[in-house]
Amino acid sequence: MSAVASKTSLAYRSRPRRRIDPWNIAGVAFMAFLLVFSVVPMLWMLSTSLKGQFAALQIPPEWIPSNPTLEQYALLLSPSSDIGPRFMRFFANSFVVSMTTTLLGVLIAIPAAYAFSRFRFPGRDFLFFVVLVRNMFPVVVFLIPLFILMKALGLVNTYGSIILTYLTFGLPLSIWLLKGFFDNIPEELERAARIDGATRFKAFWLIIMPLTSPGIIATSIYSFIGAWNEYVYAATFLNDESLLTLPVGLQRFFSEFATNWPGLMAAAFIMSVPVVVMFIVLQKYFVRALTEGAIKA
Amino acid sequence: MAQVVLNDVVKTFGDVVAVDHLSLDIRDGEFVVLVGPSGCGKTTTLNMVAGLIELTAGMILIGDQVVNDLDPKDRDIAMVFQNYALYPSKTVWGNLAFPLQMRGTPKSEIERRIARAANILGIQHLLNRRPRELSGGQQQRVALGRAIVRDPKVFLMDEPLSNLDAKLRVQMRAELKRLRQELNTTFIYVTHDQLEAMTLADKIAILRDGKLQQYGTPDEVFQHPTNMFVGGFIGSPAMNFLLGNLVVSNGSGRVQSKSGWAFPLEGESLRKAMRSQTGEVVVGVRHGHLKISLTPVAGAVEATIYAIEPTGDVTYVHIKLGDDLIVASVTPPFPGRPDDRVWISLDQQHLHIFDARTQEALSV
């Protein structure tokens, strides 16, 4: 029987090969376009960061630098240069802010999403709607209200102001993403665990959490990148140079008098490293989280 | 081991009454099957015994303890779910160990109990696998194993066999029966399959729309259904119902239908039918208690064969009687053909008489 089945499936498979599907070609062309669209700026950034000040402004541009130099990287990473210590400071600031945002966000989002997924309580649907509505407005709309709020709280020019702001933006999405993951885990698992002697919390912690880890990792990456790259709020809420995050710090420093393009590009390249490393390390979870969604129980 | 008592239990979801004043007395060591069509409240009832759903009203006792406000973990029960609910991130061993670990059982005792359960269910070789690496039947065994590693007061089973294919289901049914003899614990078992209910149960509780229809041994509910629903639900193919008016003249009686046929009623059946308020009665007759003849018989009713279903050891003959379709079973070979004329008569000793209006069984 299996022989028959494999024969038919072979015959079935060979048929569509004969003609070329125009949709496939369109698909490939579109993907190629997207690839160029996203990769070329990265390469251009890398290329510029390796050039001298003049070569960077030359027209027509040099795609591949004729005299590549690591001068800018050396300056950025040297503790004795003018920019070096400040760059390190911005980097550390960004890291602290993004990490705190991510950890706090996930800590709040997990129980919130779990509650939305599992419990029936009055106003549940309305609350969830409110959580999502936040995402329908452009972030800049909240700039002035939040600034007034932060001022009243005495948080302007502290990490607290931007961490709270990032949470405001990141949490709804995190809760929504995680709720999807919890929804896909059959409720019987907790029921079984509770009958087997676990408290509600233990059932969640020992049985449900391990199943949600791809989702939690994906959500964390998402929230980390959001905070790592954010510019507008950091530029508005922070003044003290020692507090600036990378996007704001770099912009201020490198365009103070005239834009030092190679320096800015080198800094931007270094800035993208943590995100890229994170993606590479956690990629398999991320992809699994996005494609699988459902965890088969 | 413990008795389970449901006392006037009610569960409502908004305006929907899922369980309607249900009372059941389940004795220590009894195997009770809750059976009924989907939406009859059987799973809700089981979940209330488990403590997964709160009662709206009423009382549940396990042993001598009222458990209404007791957490599932404190009820000392074990449950097998329809989709098995094995913990995907744990191995089979981890799944079996979990209920013991949660209760702080010593390590050596855990090993001993898992070995025993695995041995009973024949899953020793699977202990290191994960649930997704198991077949449906194997997952089913692990789910049973997770229930029997402890010695709970009560086993709760929610359609545990319905995800298995037909052959495996029959096999596991026998194994459950065997397991039940070895464990001798109270079981509450939910199914929509009346055959499972009949084969496994000491007692069957038939539910419909949240209301208890009948509670008794398989024999009682089969031989003496209290209403048309139970009569039609228990037994396969379903009981035939013949609706007609009781006509009594000169001490003999018959049931006369609007579409023309009339069957005589005698003895006890007649006395039961005479209890009907309106004179409108339903005669219930199981497929085995219809007699078919291919030649005219005195007192028999003429009808036509609609379809013939041979199953090997028995042949079901579907018959068009007036406006009704009824089923009779005969021992093969059956020489009739579709559209042939047949003469049918009723086995007077095995008739069920219902009141057409109340649908309740009539008794003398």
CATH number at residue A271: 1.10.3720.10
In this structure, is the dihedral angle defined by the CA atoms of residues B165, B169, B170 and B171, taken in order, positive or negative?
Answer: positive
| Cβ–Cβ contact B13 with A under 8 A | no
Give pLDDT, residue A235. 86
Q: Let me know if residue A67 belongs to a domain.
A: no
Q: A79: cis peptide before it, omega within 30°?
A: no
Q: What's the pLDDT at A11?
A: 43
Instruction: Determine the length of chain B.
Output: 364
pLDDT in tens, A223-256: 898 899 888 888 888 888 888 888 888 888 777 6
Length in residues, chain A: 297
Contact at CB, B71 and A199, closer than 8 angstroms? yes
> In chain A, how many domains are there?
2
A17 with A109, same domain?
Answer: no
pLDDT digits (tens, 9 = 90+) for B181-202: 888 889 999 999 999 999 999 9
* Same-domain status, A37 and A127: no
Question: Which run of H or of E encompasses A174?
Answer: helix A159-183
Residues A110 and A160 in one domain: yes
Range list of H helices, B107-203: 107-121, 136-148, 166-183, 194-200
Residue A62 in any domain: the answer is no
Nearest chain B alpha carbon to A193 = B99
- What's residue A132's pLDDT? 79
**Which residue positions in chain A have pLDDT lower than 50?**
1-14, 292-297
Contact A191 B72 (CB under 8 A): yes
Q: What is the mean pLDDT of chain B?
A: 90
Say if residue A136 is in the same domain as residue A277: yes
Residue A38 domain boundaries: 2-49
Pick from B364, B20, B33: nearest CA to B188:
B33
Q: Does residue A90 lie within any of the structural domains?
A: yes
Q: Is B92 on the interface with A (CB under 8 A)?
A: no
Q: Does A198 contact B102 at a Cβ distance shorter than 8 Å? A: yes
Q: Look at residue A286 in the predicted model and tell me its pLDDT.
A: 67
Chain A partners within 8 Å of B146 (Cβ): 192, 196
Q: What percent of chain B has pLDDT over 70?
A: 100
Question: What are the tens digits of pLDDT across the range B218-234?
Answer: 999 999 999 999 999 99
Instruction: Using a CB–CB cutoff of 8 Å, tell me whether B146 touches chain A.
Output: yes
Please tell me whether residues A40 and A101 are part of one structural domain: no
Q: Kindly determine whether residue B50 and residue A186, on different chains, have CB atoms separated by under 8 Å.
A: no
* Shared-domain flag, residues A113 and A221: yes
A102/A230 same-domain check: yes
Residues of A in contact with B82 (CB under 8 A): 188
Q: Which residues of B touch A186 (CB under 8 A)?
A: 83, 85
Residues A22, A154 share a domain: no
Kindly list the residues from chain B whose CB atom is less than 8 angstroms away from the CB atom of residue A207: 87, 89
Chain A neighbours among B 253-282 (CB < 8 Å)? none
Pair (A189, A116) in one structural domain: yes
Closest CA to B29 of B51, B3, B54: B3
* Closest-CA residue of chain A to B49: A195
In a domain, A181, yes or no: yes
B103 neighbourhood in chain A, CB within 8 Å: 197
Give the three-state DSSP class for B150.
Answer: coil
Give a yes or no: residue A263 inside a domain.
Answer: yes
Residue A10 lies in a domain: yes
Are residues A127 and A227 part of one domain? yes
What percent of chain B is predicted at pLDDT more than 90? Answer: 51
Beta-carbon separation of A207 and B85 below 8 A = no
Q: Is A281 found in the same domain as A205? A: yes
Average pLDDT for B86-99: 91
Whether A107 maps to a domain, the answer reads: yes
Judged by CB atoms closer than 8 Å, whether chains meet at A207 and B83 is answered as: no
Contact A197 B146 (CB under 8 A): no
Average the pLDDT over B75-94 and give the result: 90
Is A138 part of any domain? yes
pLDDT tens by residue, B122-150: 888 999 998 888 888 889 889 989 998 98
* Interface mutation vs chain B, best among A120, A191, A196, A295, most B CBs within 10 Å: A196
Cβ proximity of A207 and A189 under 8 Å: yes
Residue A96 and residue A21 share a domain? no
Instruction: Return all residues near B99 (Cβ < 8 A) that are at least 6 apart.
Output: A196, A197, B78, B146, B149, B150
Give which of B70, B98, B150 to mutate to test A binding, by max A Cβ within 10 Å: B98
pLDDT for the residue numbered A258:
66
- Angle, CA of B83, B85 and B90, to the nearest 5°: 140
Sheet with B301-310, edge to edge strand ranges? B290-293, B341-346, B301-310, B315-321, B324-330
